[in-house]
A and B are shown apart, each in its own frame.
Chain A
Amino acid sequence: MVKTLLGRSWIWSWIAAAAAFGLIMLLTQGRGAEELAYAALSFGAFAAIVGLGQMMVITLGPGNVDLSIPATMTLAATLALKGMGSDPGTSLLGLAIAIGVGCGAGLANFALIYLLRLPPIIATLAASLIYQSLAIWSNRGLRIKPPADLADFATGRTIGIPNVALIALVLSVVVWIVLERSVFGRWLLGSGQNLRAARLAGIPTQLVRAVTYTSVAVLAAVAGYLLASFSGGASLNMGQEYLLSSIAVVVIGGTSIAGGNSNVPGIWGASLFLFLVVSMLNSYGLGAGVRMLLTGLIIIGIVIAASTRRGRA
C-alpha cells in the first residue's frame, strides 16, 4: 500500500505541502492552523485552476506551453469588470465575458501556432503582449470594483471551505474525467506521446491541439475573473506571478514535461505547497533574497525526488 502510494508521482507534492505546513506549525506551536489551511486553499485555488490548463497543454508534448496565461487573466478580468460595472446581479454576465475572452485568446493562440507555424513559446508570448496591451487600453487606469455580491461570494466560504477552492475542485474533477475517462482525453494523451503515430492511428490531432489551447485560455480567464472578484478589482500585473507558478505546479505535481502523461491530484498538492513554502519562509523571518533562493532549491529538490521515484517504478 505504502509502496504503491510512493510510486505515484503526485504524492511528493502532497508530502512537501504537508511538511511545509508542519514546519510552520512547529514555529507557531500549533496556533493558527485553521487560518493557514484556509489561506492556502484560497490562494492555492488560483494556481490550481491555471495549473490545470497548463498541464493539459504540456501534456501535448515537448514544446507545448502557454505563456499568455497572465495576460489572458488580466484581459479577461479587466473586460469582465468593465462589463459588470459594479452593478449588482451581473456576475453571470461577467463570467460569460471572461469565458468569451478565454475562447478568443485560446483560438488566437492556436491560429498563430497553426497558421504561422510558430513555436508555441513564441506564439503565446507574442500574443500575450497583445492581450496585455488590450487590457491596458480598455482599463485606462480605472479600478472598477466587482459587484458586491460577487465579491462576497469570491471571498466567502461554504461549509468552512473557501468558495474559490470549491470551484477549483469542481474544475479539477471535470478535467480529471476528461483526461482519464473521455475519448478526447485519450486523444490528448496519445497526441502527446507521438504526434505522427497518433495521427496515423486515426486521432484528429489538430482538433485536439485547438481544443487544448482554447481550454487553457478559458481556465486562465476564469481564474482571472475569480481573482479580480476576490481581490476587489483587476490590476494590470495581477497575473504576473502565475506565469511561473502555472508551470511550476505542473512540474512539481508530477506531470511528465515530455508529454503524454497528466496528473490532476499533483496539481493540488503543488499549488498548496507553493503557497505554504512562501508562508513558511516568511514566518521564519528570512529576507527576500534568501526566500527566493530557498524556494528555487526546494522546487528543484521536489522535482528530483518525484522523477527518480518514477524512474525506478
Chain B
Amino acid sequence: MTLLTSPSASIVTLTNVEKHFGPVRALSGVSLSIGPGECVGLVGHNGAGKSTLVNLINGGLVPSAGEVSFPASGATRALEAGVRSVFQELSLCPNLTVAENLRISHDNLRGVGWRKRAHTEIAASLDSIFPGHGIDADTTVDRLTIAERQMVEIAIGFAPRGRDARLVILDEPTSSLDAGIAQQLLTHIRTFCAKGGAVVFISHMIGEIFQVASTIVVMKDGRIVASRPTAEFTRATLVDQMGHVAAETTDAVAQRRAPGEEVLHTGDGLVARKGEVVGLAGLAGHGQAEALAQLYLDRTSAWWGDKVPKVVFVAGDRGRDGILPLWSILRNATVSILSQTARHGLVDRAAEARVAAAWKTRIGIRTDDVRNLILSLSGGNQQKVLFARALASDAPIVIMDDPMRGVDIGTKQDVYAMIQSEAARGRTFLWYSTETEEVCQCDRVFVYRDGQISARLDGADITEDRILEASFQMQEAAA
C-alpha cells in the first residue's frame, strides 16, 4: 500500500495503523505515506474511516496500534511537522475578525501591533489563493457568507503562521464554494504541490478529485482498498471500488404492493403514497434530516394537539430530538399517544401501562421494569423506545430520521419486518438512512445532494450503483 515515494523524504508515514473506539474498529491496518509534491485524493463512503485517518495524521487522535511519523521534518507532533487541517464543519469564531481568527492558530502573533501583522498575513494568503476575493480582513466572521468563511478557513490553513505549511488536509473544502472559486482553489493546490507542499483532498465531487489529485486513495470499512496514481482510475472503476455495501436487496422488492393514493407531495418534489416505504438517500448532511424535520413541523402544530397525530417522528439524534431524559421508559414511550386514550383531559394510566408493556415485549426493550428511567437503557434500547413511541400511535405517516444508529443487527431485522407489515396495513414511511442496505428496501428513493433532490428512483431502479451515482457530483466542475 505504500506509495512510491522514498520513505525518508515523506512528510508523514503511517505504518499499520489501527484505531478502535471500544469494540468498534474504525481503522484497521492502514499504511500510507505522503511525500512532498503529492496531492492525495481521499474518497469513500460515510463511515469508511476517512475522518479517523485524517485525525490520526493531524494528531487529533492517537492510534490504538501502529505508528504515525513525520520523517521529513523529524518532528514528533503534527503541528511541528507543518500539518494543517481545514475541516468541513466551520471552526471559525464568528464574533472575531478574520485577522483575529488567524491569531487563534498562530501563537507567534503577539506583542504590540499583532493585529496589523495578522491582517497582512491573512490578506496575503487570501490574495494568493483567491485573487479578487473581496474579503476585508477586519470584518467579523459573522458578517461573511458561508462560502467566504470557507475561503477564510482555507486561507488560514495555507497561511505561513511562522512555519511553512508542508501538508494541508482539506476535508470537503469545495462543498460550499461555487465553481469559479473552487477552480481557484484547485489551481492553488496544484501550485502548492508543485512547490513541494503536499495536500490531502477529501471530496465527494469526483470531477475535482480527477482534476487535482496525483494519487487516489479509496477507503472502505476502515481499510484502504485501492491506492494508485490517478491516471489508473476511471470514474467507473472509482465508483466501483467504493461500492458494494450489501447484496441481498432483491427480496424486499419482490413483495410490491399496489400503490395507494398520494398522501404527501412537497414543493421540492418528495412524493409518497399510502402504504409506501419511501427512502431518502445520499451522503450524510446533504439536507435529508432537515427536510424531514421541516416536513414534520409543517404538518403538525405547536398550538394544538390532534387526538390521533397525523404524522409521527422517529429521531436519529436521540439526545437532541428524541429522549425526554427525566422520564421513565413508560412515559417516553407513551408521550405521543396520550390524547388517544385520555378521558376528560386526564391520562388513562392503565391504558398507558398496557401499551408500554406490549411494546416492551414486541420490540424487545431490555429492562425488567418499564418504570425505570429511560437513561438506564443503552443507546440501542433507547432507540427502540423511540420506535415504540411512534409505532404505538395510529398516525398514518411515520417519519424516520436515520433511526438505526446503535441498534443491533437482530433488532434491525425485527424493525425492518415491522415496517414492512405496518406499510402493508396502509401506513406510509419516510425513511432517511445512511445505510444503503436499508434504502434498498424502499419502494421509492429520493437521493439528496446539496439540500436538493438530485434523483428519484422507483422499484427496480433502486440499486446501490444508481444511488451512489446520484449522490456524487459526476459532472466535471466548470472550468
Structural contact, B302 and A205, CB atoms closer than 8 A? yes
Is B324 an interface residue, CB under 8 A from the partner? yes
Which of A181, A199, A201, A205 is packed against the most chain B CB atoms within 10 Å? A201
CB neighbors of B among A170-185 (8 A): 177, 181-184
- In the complex, how many residues of chain B place their beta carbon closer than 8 angstroms to a beta carbon of chain A? 34
User: Which of the 9-residue segments B87-95, B177-185, B307-315, B364-372 touches chain A?
Assistant: B307-315
Q: Which of A181, A187, A207 contacts B346 (CB 8 A)?
A: A181
Chain A: interface secondary structure? helix
Contact code string B287-310 (vs A, CB < 8 Å = 1, else 0): 000000100110011111110010
Residue of A nearest to B339 (CB): A183
- B324 in complex: contacting residue of A184, A201, A202, A256, CB < 8 Å: A201
**B101 at the A/B interface (Cβ < 8 Å)?**
no
Within 8 A of B (CB), among A52-88: none
Chain A residues whose CB sits within 8 angstroms of the CB of B306 once the complex forms: 202
Decide yes or no whether A190 CB sits under 8 A from chain B.
Answer: yes
Identify which of B10-18, B325-333, B406-414 touches chain A.
B325-333
**B302 A207 Cβ-Cβ under 8 A:** yes
Contact between B327 and A202 (Cβ–Cβ < 8 Å)? Answer: no
Q: Is A206 an interface residue (CB 8 A)?
A: yes
Output the nearest chain B residue to A207 by Cβ-Cβ distance: B303
**Closest partner residue, chain A, to B335 (CB atom):** A201
Chain A: residues with Cβ within 8 Å of the partner, total of 26
| Cβ-closest chain B residue relative to A200 | B313
Across-interface contacts of B305 in A (CB, < 8 A):
183, 187, 202-204, 207
Q: Which residue of A lies closest to B334 (CB)?
A: A186
Interchain CB contact under 8 A, B327 and A194: no
| In the complex, B342 has a CB within 8 A of chain A | yes
Residues A126-168 near B (CB distance < 8 A): none
In the complex, what residue of chain B is closest to A261 when comparing beta carbons? Answer: B326
Confirm or deny: A112 has a beta carbon within 8 angstroms of a beta carbon on chain B.
no
Are the C-beta atoms of A207 and B304 separated by less than 8 Å?
Answer: yes
Picked from B300, B323, B349, the residue with its CB within 8 Å of the CB of A194 is B323
Q: Which of A197, A199, A206 has the most CB of B within 10 A?
A: A197
**Nearest residue, chain A, Cβ from B313:** A200
A106 to chain B minimum Cβ distance, whole angstroms, is 16
Bound complex: CA A261 to CA B325 (Å): 11
B293 pairs with A200, CB closer than 8 A: yes
Query: Taking each of A181, A187, A203, A256, which has the highest tally of chain B beta carbons within 10 Å of its own beta carbon?
Result: A203
CB neighbours of A260 from chain B (8 A): 324, 326
Min Cβ gap A175→B in Å is 14
Tell me if A108 is interfacial: C-beta within 8 Å of chain B. Answer: no
Q: Are A197 and B324 touching (Cβ within 8 A)?
A: yes
Beyond A183-B346, A202-B309, A261-B326, is A197–B320 a contact (Cβ under 8 Å)? yes
Docked pose: A190 CA to B333 CA in angstroms: 12
**B331 in complex: contacting residue of A177, A186, A194, A204, CB < 8 Å:** A186
CA gap between A54 and B393 in the complex, in Å: 33
Q: Kindly name the residue among B315, B323, B324 whose own CB sees the greatest number of chain A CB atoms within 10 A.
A: B324
- Given A183-B338, A203-B335, decide whether A193 and B345 contact each other with a Cβ distance below 8 A: no
CA distance in complex: A190, B389 (Å)? 14
Partner of B300, one of A184, A187, A202: A202
Say yes or no: is A238 at the interface (Cβ < 8 Å to chain B): no
Whether, in the assembled complex, A125 has its beta carbon less than 8 Å from a beta carbon of chain B, the answer is: no
Q: Give chain B residues whose Cβ lies under 8 Å from the Cβ of A181.
A: 346-347, 349
| Chain A residues, Cβ within 8 Å of B160 | none
- In the complex the two chains form, is A182's CB within 8 Å of B304's CB? no
* A204→B338 contact, CB < 8 A: no
- A183:B345 contact, CB within 8 angstroms: yes
A199 and B339 in contact, given A186-B331, A206-B302 (Cβ under 8 angstroms): no
Q: Is the CB of B346 within 8 A of A201?
A: no
Distance (whole angstroms) from the CB of B456 to the closest CB of chain A: 26
Q: Is A309 an interface residue (CB 8 A)?
A: no
The reply on B336 being an interface residue by CB < 8 A is yes
Give the complex CA separation of A186 and B335 in angstroms: 8
Is B29 on the interface with A (CB-CB < 8 A)? Answer: no
- Contacts A200-B293, A204-B302, A205-B302 given: A193-B346 contact, CB under 8 Å? no
| In the assembled complex, A198 has its CB within 8 A of some CB on chain B | yes
B321 touches which of A186, A197, A207 (Cβ 8 Å): A197
A121 to B322, alpha carbons, bound, how many Å? 28
Chain B residues with CB under 8 Å of A203's CB are 305, 335
Interface digits, B110-153 against A, CB 8 Å rule (1 contact, 0 not)? 00000000000000000000000000000000000000000000
Q: What are the residues of chain A within 8 A of B389 when measuring CB–CB?
A: 201
Contact between A201 and B347 (Cβ–Cβ < 8 Å)?
no
Give the complex CA separation of A190 and B325 in angstroms: 9
> Is A201 a contact of B313 with CB atoms below 8 Å?
yes
Q: Is the CB of A183 within 8 A of B322?
A: no
A199 and B297 contacting across the interface, CB-CB below 8 Å:
yes
For A31, the chain B residues whose CB sits under 8 A away are: none
**Is A197 a contact of B315 with CB atoms below 8 Å?**
yes
Interchain nearest-CB distance for B69 vs A (Å): 45
Which of B324, B325, B342 sits near A183, CB closer than 8 Å?
Answer: B342
Closest partner residue, chain B, to A192 (CB atom): B326
Report the bound CA distance from A203 to B303 in whole Å. Answer: 9
A190, B327: Cβ atoms closer than 8 Å:
yes
Roughly how many angstroms separate A261 CA and B312 CA in the complex, as a whole number? 25
Cα distance A277–B128 in the bound complex, in angstroms? 72
In whole angstroms, what is the CA distance A260 to B338 when docked? 17
**Which residues of A are found within 8 Å of B312, using beta-carbon distances?**
202
Question: In the bound complex, do residue A197 and residue B323 qualify as a contact, i.e. CB atoms below 8 Å apart?
Answer: yes
Q: Measured between C-beta atoms, what is the minimum distance from B75 to chain A in Å?
A: 45
Contacts of B338 in A (CB 8 A): 183, 186-187
Within 8 A of A (CB), among B167-193: none
Least distance between B393 CB and chain A CB atoms (Å): 8
User: By the criterion CB–CB under 8 Å, are B303 and A194 in contact?
Assistant: no
Bound state CA distance, A182 and B389, in angstroms? 19
Residue of A nearest to B304 (CB): A204
A271 and B322 alpha carbons, distance in the complex (Å): 36
Whether B304 lies near A196 (C-beta < 8 A) is no
Contact residues, A242-264 vs B (CB, 8 A):
256, 260-261
A196–B331 contact, CB under 8 A? no
- Do A182 and B347 form a contact, CB below 8 Å, given A200-B293, A204-B303? yes
* B304 engages A201 (CB within 8 Å): no
Q: Is the CB of B335 within 8 A of A182?
A: no
Contact assessment for B346 and A200 in the assembled complex, using a CB-CB cutoff below 8 Å:
no
Which residues in window 387-442 of B have CB below 8 A to A?
389, 393
A193 B327 Cβ-Cβ under 8 A: yes
Residue of B nearest to A184 (CB): B345
Seed contacts A186-B347, A202-B313, A206-B302; 8 additional CB < 8 Å A-B pairs: A182-B347, A183-B345, A184-B345, A194-B323, A201-B322, A202-B312, A202-B393, A204-B301
List the 9 closest pairs (A to B, CB-CB), nearest first: A206-B302, A193-B324, A202-B336, A200-B313, A183-B338, A204-B305, A260-B326, A202-B309, A183-B342
27 interchain pairs, CB-CB under 8 A: A182-B345, A183-B305, A183-B339, A183-B345, A186-B335, A187-B338, A189-B327, A190-B324, A190-B327, A190-B335, A193-B326, A197-B322, A198-B324, A198-B335, A200-B293, A200-B321, A201-B313, A201-B324, A201-B336, A201-B389, A202-B305, A202-B309, A202-B312, A203-B335, A204-B302, A207-B302, A261-B326
